[in-house]
A and B are shown apart, each in its own frame.
Chain A
Amino acid sequence: MKPAAFEYVCPDTLEEALSYLDLWGDSAKILAGGQSLVPLLNMRLAQPQYIIDINRLPGLSGITRHPDTRTVEIGALVRHHQLISNPILLAHASLLSEAARYIGHIAIRSRGTIGGSIAHADPSGELPLAVTALRGHLKVRSRHSQRTIPIEDFFGGYYMTALEPNELIYAVEVLESPIRTGCAVKEFQRRHGDFALASAAAAITVDESGAVLQARVAVGGVAPNAVTCSKVEEALCGQTNNNQFSLAAELVAQHIDPPEDIQASADYRRHLAIALAAEAIDSAYERALWAKEEA
C-alpha cells in the first residue's frame, strides 16, 4: 500500500498549473481533495509520473451567483462540507446542498472537492447525480483554450469523462432553481457513509396552484453514470398527487439497465432506484409546496 514514486508540484497560479498539465498530459494527475486519488495511488491502481496539486490555486474556491444569467457558479475546489451550508446554494440550488450531506464521512466532506468528485465520475457519486439532475455545465480550461461542457456530454462510462488530458475543471455551473422549487435526495447505503447502492435526486417546481410545473429527476448507482429520467419528468408535469408520483417513478425503469455485482442484483438495484425516486419526488414536491407558501 505504498504509491509508486512520482514527482510533486504545487503551482500558485492557474496558468502554471495548466502549463504543467499541457506539458505532461496523460502522465500527470491533478490532486484536489485527494479522497479518491490517494487510495488509487496507494493501491497502485493509478501510477502517474507527476502530481499537480491544485489546492493553492486562487479563485477556485468561491460560490457566486450571477443574477444576469440566473446561474450559480461553484469553484472546482469548493469542499463538500461548504456545499451543505452555503447560503447561496441553500437559496438557489439546494439540490447540491442536499446531495453533499450524503457524501462519506465528515473527514471526507471536509477535504473532497466538487471538481474532484465530478472528474472522478464515480457511478454512485452524489455530486455527479445532483449536477446531472440540474443539467449543469462544467467550465473547463486548458493552457490555450476554454470550453463549457454540458454534463450530459461529460460522462463517458465508469470513471470516464470527456476531459482531455491537458484540461482542468475550474468551475461547475448550474441554473438557479426557479421560485417555488423543492429539492430532495434519497439514497440507500449499507452503512453510514458508504457509497450508495442506489440514489435519486429530484428538483420539483410547482405553479401557483400547486401543480408540478417542472421536474428534474435523476438516479445514481444503477448505471455507469447518473441518469436523467426525462420520462419521469414529463409524467410529473401538471400532477398534484402522490399516486401519480409513484406511477411516474415507475418509469425510472425505462431509463436504466442496472448492473449486477456482489453488492446487489440488477432487480434489487432497479427496485431501489424506483423506490428512492418516488421518495425523492414526494419529498421535493412537499418542499416545493412550502416554498409556494413562503413566496
Chain B
Amino acid sequence: MAYIGQRMTRVEDERLVTGQGQYVSDITPSGTLHLAVVRSLHAHARITHLDLSSAQCLDGVIGVYGPDDVLPIMKPFPPGMVDARLQARMPTPLATGRVHYVGEPVAVVVALSRYIAEDAVRLVEVNYEPLPAVTDPVAGEYADPIHDGADSNLAAEIAYRVGAGADALKDADLVVQTSLRLGRVVGHPMEPRGIVAIYDSEQQNLSVYAGTQGVHGFRKSLADMLGLSESRIRVVAPDTGGGFGLKTRIYPEDVLAAYLAMRLNRPVKWQGDRYEEFISTNQERDQWHRAKIGVKRDGRIVAVVDEYYQDQGAYTPSGIIVADTTAVSIMGPYRVPNFEAVGKVVVTNKVPVGPYRGAGRPQGTFVMERLMDHAADALGMDRVQIRRINLLTPDQLPYQNGISSRGALMTLPYGEYQKTMEQVVDAIQYEQYRDTVRCEGDWRLGIGIANYLEMSGGVGFEGAKMRLLSDGRVQIATGASGQGQGHRTAIGQVAADRLGLPFEQIVVVEGDTAAIERGIGTFGSRTMIMAGNATTQAAKGFRQRLLAFAADLFEASPEDLMWQHGTISVSGVPARALSLAQIAEEALTRQQELEYEAYFDASGPAFGMGTHGVEVAVNTKTWEVKIRQYRICHDGGVIVNPLLVEGQTIGGTVQGLGTALFEALIIDPDSGQPQNASFLDYLLPGAGEMPDFMITEVEYPDPTNPEGFKGVAEGGVMPPMAAVCAAIEDALKEWHVRADVLPITPNDIFLQVTRGGAHETRSI
C-alpha cells in the first residue's frame, strides 16, 4: 500500500482554508469574561505605587487585580529546564515591586468585553521609579543585578572543549577572527497566544483551551501554579496558528486567566494581540560572538573557538536551551579536531529569550559557516573548496565529534555530505558562474553556499493511543499537538501503512489531555521521530489486540488468523471473516474497548546534513538586495510526505531569510524601549521578497529509530543567514563589504561602502 513517501495533500486543509478552523479566539462560551493586561511601560523600574480604584469603578469591569490580589499564584514559575549550569530567573505571574522589561505584566483587568478591559487598563495608575536599563549583555554581565536577590546578571556559563581546545590554535598556519551579531528576532506565529479557561465548580474541574505546543506540559505547569491536581485539569489545543517554539511554555497570562476563571466561577478569556506578541512572547537569536578559526595552509581546520553572549532578556523561561544548542551546533558537518566554546547567558531588561525555530542551531551554523568563508578568503581559497576539504566523508561516518550533549556523545550517522553539497553547487551553477560577468545594469550578482547539520528529536518520549471506533475506523491520539505542520496527515500515513488499512480509515486526534494520558509535545523537530515511531509500535500491539479479540469470536487461535485490508479472517476459510466495523460492533456488545497505547523513548538525536545555495543581486545605487535563485538539498531521513517536508523546509528558509535581511526588534540602548514593535516597521519578509525555492532531498535513514525518520522542521532556518551573507560579500567584493552583523540592510551596506569597512550599525 505504501502511503509513506507519498505527496499526499493535507487532510487538515479543507477545514482550514474554508474558514472552519476553530482557534482559541473562536471559542467564547456564554458568560465569558475578558482579560486584559496592564504592562510595564519601563524596561527597568521600581513600582512605587499601584492604584486600581479608578479602573475598578468603570462600568462593565468585574475586577482589577494587582499582585496582592492574586497571592495564591504569586510564586515563581517552575524552571523550564533544570540544568546545573543555570541559576534560573523565573517570573511570577505579576511583577512585584520591580519591573524588568517593557511589557511585563503588572496587573490585570477582567471585564465584560475586551474593549472595556482595555479602557480600564488605561485607568490603572502605576507609578514607576525608573532604574538604569541593562540592554547590552557584554556590559550587562557586570552591571548591577536586575533581579532582587541575585548577585550578578550572569545566569549561566556554558563551556565545551574538544581536543586541545583553544590551545590548538598555535598549531594553525593561519588564524582568522571575526565578530558576529544576530539580531533580536520576534517569532510571530500567525495566531497570537491566547487562552480560554472554564471552571466547573460542581465537579471542581478546570478546562482550558490554549494554543500550546504541548498540552500535557501545559497542564503540569498550570497544576503546579494553581496548586491543583493534574487530574482535575483538561487542556485542549484547538487549531493553532503556528508556534515555532514560542508556545512550548506556560506564560503569566495563562495562569492569571485560569486562576481568575476559578475564582470568579466564569469562563475567562485572554486573547493576546499583535502588540502583545511583540512585548510579551519569548524572543530569540540575539547573540554576540567572537569566533576564531585556525586552519592549515591547505585549508584543513585545526581548531574552532567561540566566545559568545546570549542576550537572554529578563528571565530564563526555557533554561539555557538556546545558548547551549548554539555551542553544540557550531561544528556542524565538519571534522573539527579541536574545539572550544564559552557562552555566557546574561539577563537584560528585555523580553525573555526562549526557543524559536532552531533554538541555537541557526546561531551555531551562522558562526561556523561565516568562519569557513573568512578562512577561505584569508587563504585565497575558493569558499566551496574549503568546505570540500573539511566536510566529514562517508568513511569517517558514523562520527563522534567529541561533544557530549544531554548525557550522550553526539554521533553523526552515515551520510554523503560532499554529494549533497555538490548537488547544490551544480544546481546553482557555482563553477560556471565564477568565470562569467557578474553585473546586470546597476546590479551586482553574487553567490553563497552554506552547509548545516540538523539535529532533531532525541529527548523524552511520545505516545500513540489507538482505538477502534464504532464505525471501524482507527483513531490515533498523540500528545504531540501540531500548530499547522500536517501531523494528522503524516501520522495517518504511517498508521495506514503499519496497520495495512486505507488512509481514509485513520483518524488522528491531537492536542487533548483527555485523549491520551501522557505526552510531551511538538517542538525540536521531534514529532515524526517520536510520535511516528510510537504509532508504528502501537500499530503492532493494536493488531495483536484485535487479533486476540477476533480469535475469541472465531474460537480460533490468533496464529490462525489473517489480517488483510481491514478484514480479519481465519486462514484458509475466507468465509469466516469480519471487517473492522463488524469487530467494533462485536466489541460494543461485549462492552470491550479495543485500544492499545505505546510510547516511544528517544535514544538520541537524529542528524541530517544539508546545503543551501543562493544567488543574490545587489543594486549599486540603492544597495537593495534581491534573492534571485535559491537551491536546497537536504537529508530528510525516511520521508513520510515530501509535500509536508518541502513546506517545512521553505517555511524555515523564509524565516531564516527574514533574520538575514529584514527582521530585528530594535531596542533603545539607553531606555530599553522597543523601537519598532509593530508590523509597520518590524519587517517580516513577504511572499514578494522571496524567490522560488528548488529543493531536492536525499534520504539516509536515521539509525536512532526503527522507521529511520529524521526531523526536518529546523534545517531550513539554519543556513540562510550565512548563505545570504556570503552571497552579498561575493557580489560586493569590490567594496570589501563584510556581512557579519544581522540583519544586513541596504543602509548598512551603504554605510560600509561610503565609509569604508564594516560598521557595527543596527538598522532594519
Contact = CB atoms under 8 A, between A and B. Distances in A.
B274 A265 contact: no
A143 to B, nearest CB: 32
Interface stretch (A17-25, A154-162, A185-193): A185-193
Interface string A22-47: 00000000000000000100011000
Contacts of B275: 1, 43
Interface secondary structure of A, over-half rule: loop
Interface in B256-285: 273-275
Nearest to B763: A262
Contacts of A264: 746-747, 763
B115 interface: yes
Most buried by B among A1, A193, A194, A267: A1
Contact of B683 (A4, A190, A275): A190
Contacts of B686: 191-193
Contacts of B621: 275, 279
A265 B115 contact: no
B622 interface: yes
A271 interface: yes
Contact of B662 (A1, A44, A190, A265): A190
B114 interface: yes
A5 interface: yes
A23 B747 CA distance: 48
Contacts of B115: 2-3, 5
A191 B762 CA distance: 18
A209 interface: no
B177 interface: no
A55 B285 CA distance: 46
B58 to A, nearest CB: 11
B676 interface: yes
B689 A191 contact: yes
Contact of A4 (B119, B685, B688): B119
Contact of B763 (A44, A265, A271): A265
Given A191-B688, A267-B750, A262 B622 contact: no
A278 to B, nearest CB: 9
Nearest to B118: A2
A188 B624 contact: yes
A120 B683 CA distance: 23
Contacts of B119: 4-5
A268 B763 CA distance: 12
A263 interface: yes
B175 interface: no
Contacts of B678: 43
Contacts of B747: 263-265, 268
Contacts of A1: 273-275
Given A2-B114, A267-B751, A262 B764 contact: yes
B29 to A, nearest CB: 20
Contacts of A271: 750, 754
A226 interface: no
Interface string B730-762: 000000000000000111001100100000011
Most buried by A among B685, B754, B762, B763: B763
A5 B119 CA distance: 9
Contacts of A194: 683
B364 to A, nearest CB: 28
A80 to B, nearest CB: 18
Nearest to B685: A191
Interface string A42-78: 0110000000000000000000000000000000000
Given A190-B683, A191-B662, A268 B746 contact: yes
A272 interface: yes
Nearest to A189: B624
Interface string A246-282: 0000000000000000111101100110011001000
B11 to A, nearest CB: 31
A277 to B, nearest CB: 12
B620 to A, nearest CB: 10
B675 interface: yes
Nearest to B754: A267
A71 B662 CA distance: 43
Contacts of A267: 750-751, 754
Contacts of A272: 622
A213 B263 CA distance: 78
B666 interface: yes
Interface in A107-131: none
A262 B662 contact: no
A271 B689 CA distance: 23
Contacts of A3: 115
Interface in B671-697: 675-676, 678, 680-681, 683, 685-686, 688-689
B444 to A, nearest CB: 16
Interface in A173-207: 188, 190-194
Interface in B106-162: 114-115, 118-119, 122
A261 to B, nearest CB: 8
Interface string B11-43: 000000000000000000000000000000000
Contacts of B675: 262
A182 to B, nearest CB: 21
A44 B115 CA distance: 11
A70 B115 CA distance: 51
B250 to A, nearest CB: 23
A42 to B, nearest CB: 9
Nearest to B114: A2
Nearest to B620: A275
A249 to B, nearest CB: 12
Which 6 A/B pairs are nearest by Cβ-Cβ distance? A192-B688, A1-B273, A2-B115, A268-B750, A275-B621, A268-B747
Interface of A: 1-5, 39, 43-44, 188, 190-194, 262-265, 267-268, 271-272, 275-276, 279
11 contacts: A5-B115, A5-B119, A43-B275, A190-B683, A192-B689, A194-B683, A262-B764, A263-B764, A265-B751, A271-B750, A276-B622
